[in-house]
C-alpha cells in the first residue's frame, strides 16, 4: 500500500505586506493598520491604482505564503501589538484567507477586507469589517448584483458592512445613487477617483494630479450636499493626499 501524501496547506498569493500605516479610505480612514495585499484580480478597471497586484506581468513579484508565515510578518511589523489588519488586493476574496483570520483573531488582531463583491467566501462572516466596493461605469466593468448578494449572504450579518463607491463623473454618481437605493441600510462612502494612478512597479515616478483630484472632491462634496444626500460620507484617499502614489505606505 502506498502511504497517503499529506495535503499541503493552500498558500496565499501575497503581493506585499506593509505597515503599520494608516488606512487611507472608507470606514476605517485614519486608523493604524498593517496591509496584506494579495496578488490577482478578476477585474481590470481602467483606473486601477494597484496594477502591481493585478496584472499578470507582475506575477513573479507575488509570493505564495502560508497563513502562519503571513501572520508572523504581521506580528513582526506590529511589534506583537494587536491592531486592525487590512486585507486588500487585487481581489483578496480570491485567496484562502480564512486560516489567517482565525490565527490573527485568536491573538486579538482584527480584520478588514475590501472587495468588489464578485466572489463570496464563507470566511467573510469572521471578518470585523467587510467593505464592498462595486465598480462604477468609468471602470468599464459590469456589476453582477447576484454575485454581490452572495457576498452579503456569506457575511451573514456578522461583520460591519460598508458600501464604498469610487466616483469620477456624473454617470458614476448616478450609479452610486442607485446602489445606495438598493442597500439603504449599509453605511455609504463616496470617494473621488485618482485619474493619475500609478502605472505598476514604477509607482513612485508617477506624479499625482492633486489639483485634479481635489477639484473632483469639491465637485462631489458640493453635489452630495446640493442633492441633500445626507446618508453619504464623502472622503478623499488620505494616503494619496499625504504620500501621492508612493507604495508601501
Ligand atoms: S477591482 Fe480593484 S484591484 Fe481589481 S482591477 Fe479593479 S481597482 Fe484594480
Q: What is the DSSP string of 142-189?
A: ---HHHHHHHHHHHTT-SEEEEEEEE-SHHHHHHHHHHHHH-TTSEEE
47 Cβ closer than 6 Å to some ligand 1 atom: no
CA of 49 to the centre of ligand 1 (A): 8
Predicted confidence at residue 6, as pLDDT, reads: 44
Nearest of 88, 97, 40, 95 to residue 67 by alpha carbon: 97
45 Cβ closer than 6 Å to some ligand 1 atom: yes
CA of 96 to the centre of ligand 1 (A): 18
Cell of 194: 485618482
Q: Which residues of 167-183 are buried (b: 16+ CB within 10 A; e: fewer)?
A: bbeeebbebbbebbeeb
pLDDT single digits (tens) 122-157:
999 999 999 999 999 999 999 999 999 999 999 999
Nearest of 198, 200, 196, 139 to residue 165 by alpha carbon: 139
The bridge status of strand 110-115 relative to strand 84-88 is parallel
pTM summary value = 0.93
43 Cβ closer than 6 Å to some ligand 1 atom: yes
Alpha-carbon distance 243 to 249, whole Å?
8
Cell of 32: 493604524
Provide the β-strand partners of residue 163: 132, 188
Predicted confidence at residue 5, as pLDDT, reads: 45
Alpha-carbon distance 111 to 126, whole Å?
8
Q: What are phi and psi of 126, to 5 degrees?
A: -95, 0
116 Cβ closer than 6 Å to some ligand 1 atom: yes
Alpha-carbon distance 23 to 238, whole Å?
8
Provide the β-strand partners of residue 166: 191
In ligand 1, which atom is closest to the CA atom of 90?
3
CA of 238 to the centre of ligand 1 (A): 18
Alpha-carbon distance 43 to 32, whole Å?
28
Alpha-carbon distance 233 to 224, whole Å?
9
90 Cβ closer than 6 Å to some ligand 1 atom: yes
198 Cβ closer than 6 Å to some ligand 1 atom: no
pLDDT single digits (tens) 173-231:
999 999 999 999 999 999 998 888 887 765 555 788 889 999 999 999 999 999 999 99
140 Cβ closer than 6 Å to some ligand 1 atom: no
pLDDT single digits (tens) 11-52:
999 999 999 999 999 999 999 999 999 999 999 999 999 999
Among 49, 54, 134, 200, the mutation site with the greatest number of ligand 1 atoms within 8 A of its Cβ is 54
CA of 226 to the centre of ligand 1 (A): 30
- Report, as an integer, the average pLDDT of 47-66: 95
In ligand 1, which atom is closest to the CA atom of 139?
6
CA of 47 to the centre of ligand 1 (A): 8
Amino acid at each position: 500500500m502506498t502511504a497517503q501524501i499529506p495535503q499541503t496547506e493552500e498558500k496565499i498569493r501575497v503581493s506585499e505586506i506593509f505597515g503599520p500605516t494608516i488606512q487611507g479610505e472608507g470606514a476605517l480612514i485614519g486608523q493604524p493598520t498593517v496591509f496584506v495585499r494579495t496578488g490577482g484580480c478578476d477585474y481590470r478597471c481602467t483606473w486601477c491604482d494597484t496594477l502591481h497586484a493585478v496584472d499578470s506581468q507582475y506575477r513573479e513579484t507575488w509570493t505564495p505564503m502560508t497563513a502562519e508565515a503571513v501572520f508572523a510578518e504581521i506580528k513582526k511589523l506590529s511589534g506583537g501589538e494587536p491592531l486592525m489588519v487590512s486585507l486588500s488586493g487585487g481581489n483578496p476574496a480570491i485567496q484562502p484567507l480564512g486560516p489567517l483570520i482565525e490565527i490573527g483573531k485568536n491573538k486579538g488582531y482584527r480584520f478588514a477586507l475590501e472587495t468588489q463583491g464578485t466572489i463570496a467566501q464563507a470566511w467573510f462572516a469572521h471578518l470585523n469589517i467587510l467593505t464592498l466596493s462595486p465598480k462604477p461605469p468609468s471602470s468599464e466593468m459590469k456589476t453582477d448584483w447576484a454575485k454581490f448578494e452572495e457576498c452579503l449572504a456569506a457575511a451573514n450579518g456578522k461583520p460591519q458592512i460598508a458600501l464604498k463607491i469610487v466616483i469620477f463623473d456624473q454617470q458614476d454618481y448616478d450609479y452610486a445613487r442607485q446602489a445606495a437605493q438598493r442597500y439603504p441600510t449599509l453605511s455609504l462612502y463616496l470617494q473621488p477617483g485618482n485619474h493619475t494612478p500609478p502605472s505598476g512597479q514604477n509607482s513612485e515616478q508617477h506624479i499625482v494630479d492633486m489639483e485634479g483630484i481635489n477639484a473632483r472632491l469639491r465637485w462631489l462634496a458640493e453635489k452630495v450636499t446640493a442633492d441633500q444626500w445626507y446618508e453619504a460620507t464623502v472622503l478623499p484617499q488620505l494616503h494619496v493626499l499625504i504620500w501621492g502614489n508612493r507604495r508601501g505606505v
